[in-house]
Chain A
Amino acid sequence: MGTYIDNLLNDKIKKIKEEDNVFDTGVVVKIKDYIIEVSGLENVSFFEKVTILGKGIGYVNSIGENVVSVAIVRENEPIKVGDEVSASGEQFKAIFSEDALGRIIDLFGEDKLTSKYFKNFKYIDIERPNVPLMDRTAVNRPMLTGIAGIDLIYPIGKGQRQLIIGDKKTGKTQIALDAIVNQRSIALQNKEEMICVYIAVGKTKKEIKTIYNELLKRGALSYTLLVVATNDDKPPVQSLIPFVGVSIAEEYMLHQKKDVLVIIDDLKKHAEVYREISLISNKAPGREAYPSDIFYFHSRLLEKGCQHKNGGSITILPIVETKGGDITDYISTNIISITDGQIVLSQKQFTKGQKPAIDYTVSVSRLGGAVQSKEMKSLGATIRRKLLSYLETKEVYELANTDEMSNELKEKINLGKKIEETLNQPKFSPMSQDEILLRFKAISEDKNL
């Protein structure tokens, strides 16, 4: 009996000495939805990939004194207490493949349209180190969406983070899609190709298919990939997917010096998923039961958007859904305080038939004219001032008698109406900069601004 144990021990010691592909193992001791606790796994590192034998995979989420907590990202069969878990010796990573352009992919590098995996791929970090402050340069090149209300009034630059926020069914995703599709005509004009990454967090499969078809119809897929976690994916997957999408974008920016446009649809859902995971992991709830690090969770994601000194850039358009038009709730204000501006869509404007339903009084671009051409900048500043002044006056003088108004006031109101009408633009009908200049110059000259 003694020799048997000795032999076993010697065998184990020999294997460890030779590092003979023997990874740490452990046993599942506790299951709490998709967070499991494992005893053993003495030698795993933080965020290491682990396998629950034959049943699923996960990553190390925290290392305790006695147990290791693992977040499950994939579960093929129900996991039970007592199941064996083995470490991999590697960090949990995502897949990047050049062939993924035009496809719908998930965290594991699966092509969701064919259920196959890409042959040509490499592993990339899900979250890379920050681009250092001193490696960033000024955001000053326009990222044109083809929407006059944006390109002229609240412009977006390459490397900017511009929030799209509004209630359900006010056209948030549509603005993002318009921006993606418009890149095609820009690429045709001046050969500046942009890569677009559409990230879906917790969307339904139907929504994703619809978006795919819209992009397909308009020939936008040759430069676009969709990185998705659907609402039936495990919450840890949904919480990681925006980081994966942005890491793919960084691959293009850092190594190929490309300009990348990233859409994240949407961050409110993302926050809710993160709240769920945090509460299940017993973290203390803060405001609205979100964990205290919810701001950091989003800030470090959105800070990946930048103009890099190597010439490449990542522009991020995160989307946030609000309730009852309230943009002052906790998550919305958090994200507004991270992004470089916001395009606010209003239900009221939408039902009045204004498309896109942008509320010009609360929308903002912190970069403003810095990202516009000289002509767009001066025209944009004038039109914006006149429009805002009209919208404010309209509110106060709505009940006043028009006949008794001064001519100046009457003129202001007429001009404002004209600007409002001209900003109306149906979906997928982009306007080039020249068209925008032409139309709005006509208005401004008409009235001798």
Chain B
Amino acid sequence: MEKVGRIISISELNVKVFLYKSDVKTKDILVYKDDTMLHKFEVVELDNNIASCIPFESVKGLKKGFELEALTEGLQIQYSEEILGKVFNSFGELIDGNTIEKEVKRNVYDRNISIEELDISGKILWTGIKVIDFFAPIQKGYKMGLLGGAGVGKTVLIKELINNIYRKQNSNAVFIGVGERSREGKELYDEMKKDDLLDKISMVFGQMGESPSSRSKAVYSGLTLAEYLRDEKEQDVLLFIDNIYRYVQAMSEVSTELRRVPIENGYPTTLLSDISGVQERINSTSRGSITSFQAIYIPADDINDEAVQTILTHLDGQIVLDRKIAEKGLHPAINVFKSSSKSIDPEIIGKRHYDLVTEALKYFSRYNELEQIIAVLGIDELSDNDKNIFYRTRKLRNYFSQPMFVAKDYTGLEGKMVDVDNLLNDVSDILNGAYDDVDEEKFLYRGSLNEE
């Protein structure tokens, strides 16, 4: 191959290349081969005949003067029926020891959807998780955000959703691991393999031990696979991303190294366009749909974080996990006030469900006020009506805790799914006082109330 330039400066995440020719474009891949490996760099900025590139791996051992060759097709990933059941790294390479025979490759940045193609009328996808189905039901083709600070249960919830929806729906799925723990990624793979569930899912991993370029590219590679399933196989695809915040985080690291001026908290200037570029690709057409579940990490428990808020503007619903609730030992630790979805609308979920949600929220908000009163005066001073609200809400709150299939090792309890009709009946019964003489303890970690 022809040499297109040579390295003139090196820092951890930015390698500058003096170009001999002028036909190099941004997003081209430059490569340098030494004895042990192929070093790859992606061109991100061009200034006359100087290209700024981000390296895909460690730059240790690189020297000034090394000459590079170019792969002008840019970053590509395999794109055929054979992707199902396989595991890729961020750069579209298989890492599970498998090979793909009929190799068709495609650039990972290509696809965008027009308004004409877009389909926005999806049916509700019941998850069997009480608190989600009740407060934030998900429609097919939706983008659902699962938000939470560190260690409040995002990954467990994502895994439970994979368990409940992917298994039940039997549809194709793509899992993208971005900047999360390698251990969890491998465990997910092992569990799926053990349960013979790998045949309909492809996985892409750019985990937290890897370079920022790897972490930011995983999303693009994974999206390309999901688009293939949607457009060419005409499937309803489930897309799980754990964790989309890490994509923004990786972009900030790259941006800092390029010495671009950051906006608040060190986020890149291109925050808005980076996120739009990804989110606009996750959509449904009349031929196939992508329903996505995106875990969103909340840095320093600050939900007003610029990156978190920017991601949220793209989503159709959000489930917010709250540390205060997790501290009470209630899981999933969902904050009912902050969690919602666009389907909380009588025309979509029906009047009964809608009214129950309104009523339940009324109880919860009164309960919060009462808690403060009780802290000063004690329970005995409350009016009978308030006492009812206080005790019933505590029961309702406990009822929304639920044993999860994927947390069995942790809780020692077998997972449970709850049908939506039972769910609505139970909530209605609790609020109407049908269980007033049952101890609140009895509502913890169980499925529907009328079973057992």
**Residues of A in contact with B (beta carbons under 8 Å apart):** 42-47, 62-65, 91, 127, 129-134, 136-139, 159, 283-287, 290-293, 295-296, 299-300, 303-304, 306-307, 328-330, 332-334, 336-338, 340-342, 361-362, 364-370, 377-378, 381-382, 385, 388-389, 391-392, 396-397, 399-401, 404, 406, 408, 412
A-B contact pairs, 18 of them (CB 8 A): A43-B64, A63-B10, A65-B8, A65-B9, A91-B60, A130-B182, A137-B186, A137-B190, A284-B259, A293-B212, A304-B209, A328-B301, A336-B150, A340-B183, A368-B407, A377-B409, A381-B410, A406-B439
Chain A residue numbers with a CB within 8 Å of B257 are 293
Most buried by A among B9, B186, B210: B186
Q: Check A292 against B412 for contact (C-beta < 8 Å).
A: no
Bound CA span A134–B86, Å: 12
Q: Check A292 against B252 for contact (C-beta < 8 Å).
A: yes
12 further A-B contacts with Cβ under 8 Å, apart from A286-B266, A400-B378, are A133-B87, A287-B265, A287-B266, A291-B266, A292-B252, A293-B256, A300-B208, A362-B323, A368-B407, A369-B412, A370-B409, A381-B413
B128 within 8 A of A: no
B11 within 8 A of A: yes
Q: Check B151 against A46 for contact (C-beta < 8 Å).
A: no
With A63-B64, A64-B9 in contact, is A333–B149 under 8 Å at CB? yes
Bound CA span A404–B207, Å: 54
B73 within 8 A of A: no
Chain A residue numbers with a CB within 8 Å of B13 are 293
In the complex, which of the residues A337, A342, A370 contacts B297, with contact meaning CB atoms closer than 8 Å? A337
Bound CA span A138–B193, Å: 13
Q: What is the minimal beta-carbon distance from A365 to any residue of chain B, in angstroms?
A: 8
Q: Check B64 against A340 for contact (C-beta < 8 Å).
A: no
Q: Check A392 against B65 for contact (C-beta < 8 Å).
A: no
B95 within 8 A of A: yes
**Residues of B in contact with A (beta carbons under 8 Å apart):** 8-13, 16, 58-65, 87, 95-97, 149-151, 155, 179, 181-183, 185-187, 189-190, 205, 207-212, 249-250, 252-253, 255-257, 259, 261-262, 265-267, 297, 299-301, 323, 327-329, 371, 374-375, 378-380, 407, 409-413, 439, 441, 444
In the complex, which of the residues B151, B267, B380 contacts A337, with contact meaning CB atoms closer than 8 Å? B151
**A133 to chain B: closest residue by CB:** B182
Q: Check B299 against A364 for contact (C-beta < 8 Å).
A: no
Q: Check A333 against B412 for contact (C-beta < 8 Å).
A: no
Bound CA span A285–B13, Å: 16
Q: What is the minimal beta-carbon distance from B194 to any residue of chain A, in angstroms?
A: 10
With A47-B61, A287-B300, A303-B208 in contact, is A368–B409 under 8 Å at CB? yes
Q: Check B266 against A284 for contact (C-beta < 8 Å).
A: yes
Q: What is the minimal beta-carbon distance from A233 to any residue of chain B, in angstroms?
A: 22
Bound CA span A385–B330, Å: 10
Q: Check B378 against A399 for contact (C-beta < 8 Å).
A: yes
Q: Check A388 against B329 for contact (C-beta < 8 Å).
A: yes
**B378 to chain A: closest residue by CB:** A399
Bound CA span A338–B182, Å: 10
**B377 to chain A: closest residue by CB:** A399
Q: Check A367 against B329 for contact (C-beta < 8 Å).
A: no
**B152 to chain A: closest residue by CB:** A364
In the complex, which of the residues B16, B151, B328 contacts A341, with contact meaning CB atoms closer than 8 Å? B151
Bound CA span A330–B299, Å: 7
When A and B form their complex, which 10 residue pairs have the shortest distance between CB atoms, in order from nearest? A286-B266, A303-B209, A381-B412, A368-B410, A388-B329, A336-B150, A299-B208, A337-B150, A62-B11, A328-B301
Chain B residue numbers with a CB within 8 Å of A341 are 151
In the complex, which of the residues A63, A382, A385 contacts B329, with contact meaning CB atoms closer than 8 Å? A385
Q: Check B439 against A378 for contact (C-beta < 8 Å).
A: no
Bound CA span A439–B48, Å: 74
